[in-house]
């Protein structure tokens, strides 16, 4: 987020919360924490968490800097634009060695193939901000403070889970198989490791069978992470999440949380070339492919314009990359890699 956006957001929040100019923001937030069971106080803490005060200084200020040019390409999280949920959003990591120098500062946990669910103390929400129609018995003993996690049925059950939690009328039998697996204690004090310890204590006291905290494992080396990822993939897990243990809570796209997913390569035969539309008019829009086990699917991403003007010929083979398989055996998030050349 660029500084012009930060300053303007700073001004809006200070005026909305009626915070006097020059206020020490760290002291102000600490004063609010003991009263966070109040919905109004939780809203104030949420607004304050959206601003990285370390970049603006720790005192409230209503000054702007007109010399800073806006960066119109700077993305703002869709979830934060649509909702007021205090969501921490991870970045995707393609190679764990990109953070190898600091790997021992991280904790890792399994990335569940579930549905993100945010509890605000009163209601359960999808990441989009839409209400999840959970049965009353599922949520009536949840705490009055925020929780963040995944609704989960088990590995390889995402499609069944997704259908269950999106029903307008909850199916009791389906929800009896769902667990709420927590990975964050939104708006709480302390670093991530301390927040997870606090969260574990809360869950232990609540004694709700379908509520649990996702275990965190200390990381010592890149090799440990790679071995863990390989082990989980063999068990049909989705991947890993790496979280900086010392990171304080801050909503939005985080530079301290990474999701690490496996990617697989495979080959398939080109059955047909599908024409493009719009900008791709007159070029290839997608390839209809057939795998070695006779599964057919369309592949439309990973191509540059030159490849679209001169696509692989019908009857040739291509290599594609994907993350996982659907229950029907089709690749998820498939992307073109290259034309396949047999050895």
What value does the CA radius of gyration of the chain take, rounded to a whole number of Å?
Answer: 23
Q: How far apart are CA 59 and CA 11, in angstroms?
A: 12
Q: How far apart are CA 46 and CA 236, in angstroms?
A: 36
* Catalytic annotation present for 111: yes
Of these residues, 111, 228, 261, 269, which one is catalytic?
Answer: 111
CA atoms in the 13 A half-sphere facing the CB of 219: 30
Sheet containing strand 335-339, edge to edge, reads 296-299, 284-291, 264-275, 317-322, 335-339
CA atoms in the 13 A half-sphere facing the CB of 194: 9
Owner of token pair 């699917």? 297
Helical residues (DSSP H) of the chain, grouped into ranges: 3-17, 25-32, 39-49, 53-56, 78-82, 136-139, 158-165, 172-175, 192-206, 222-234, 305-309
DSSP helix/strand/coil, 169: coil
Q: How far apart are CA 289 and CA 272, in angstroms?
A: 7
- Please say whether the beta carbons of 166 and 134 come within 8 A: no
- Please say whether the beta carbons of 296 and 290 come within 8 A: yes
Phi, psi of 78 (to 5 degrees): -60, -40
Q: Is the dihedral of CA 40, 42, 43, 47 positive or negative?
A: positive
Residues with a known catalytic role: 111
């Amino acid at each position: 987020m660029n500084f012009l956006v930060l300053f303007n957001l700073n001004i809006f929040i200070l005026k909305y919360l009626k915070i006097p100019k020059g206020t020490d923001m760290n002291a102000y937030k600490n004063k609010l924490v003991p009263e966070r069971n109040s919905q109004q106080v939780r809203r104030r803490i949420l607004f304050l968490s959206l601003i990285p005060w370390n970049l603006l200084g720790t005192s409230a200020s209503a000054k702007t800097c007109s010399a800073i040019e806006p960066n119109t390409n700077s993305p703002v999280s869709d979830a934060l634009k649509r909702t007021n949920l205090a969501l921490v959003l991870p970045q995707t990591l393609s190679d764990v060695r990109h953070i190898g120098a600091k790997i021992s500062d991280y904790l890792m946990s399994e990335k569940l193939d579930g549905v993100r669910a945010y509890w605000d103390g009163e209601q359960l929400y999808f990441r989009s901000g839409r209400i999840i129609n959970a049965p009353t018995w599922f949520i009536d003993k949840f705490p009055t403070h925020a929780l963040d996690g995944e609704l989960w049925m088990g590995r390889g059950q995402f499609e069944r889970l997704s259908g269950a939690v999106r029903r307008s009328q909850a199916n009791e039998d389906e929800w009896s198989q769902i667990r709420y697996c927590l990975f964050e204690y939104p708006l709480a004090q302390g670093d991530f490791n301390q927040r997870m310890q606090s969260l574990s204590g809360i869950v232990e006291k609540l004694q709700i069978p379908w509520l649990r905290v996702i275990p965190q494992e200390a990381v010592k080396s890149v090799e440990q992470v790679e071995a863990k990822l390989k082990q989980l993939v063999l068990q049909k897990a989705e991947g890993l999440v790496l979280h900086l243990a010392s990171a304080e809570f801050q909503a939005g796209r985080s530079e301290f949380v990474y999701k690490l997913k496996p990617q697989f390569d495979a080959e398939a035969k080109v059955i047909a070339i599908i024409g493009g539309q719009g900008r791709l008019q007159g070029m290839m829009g997608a390839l209809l492919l057939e795998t070695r086990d006779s599964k057919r699917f369309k592949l439309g991403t990973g191509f540059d314009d030159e490849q679209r003007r001169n696509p692989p010929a019908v009857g040739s083979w291509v290599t594609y990359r994907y993350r996982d398989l659907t229950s029907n055996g089709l690749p998820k998030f498939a992307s073109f890699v290259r034309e396949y050349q047999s050895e």
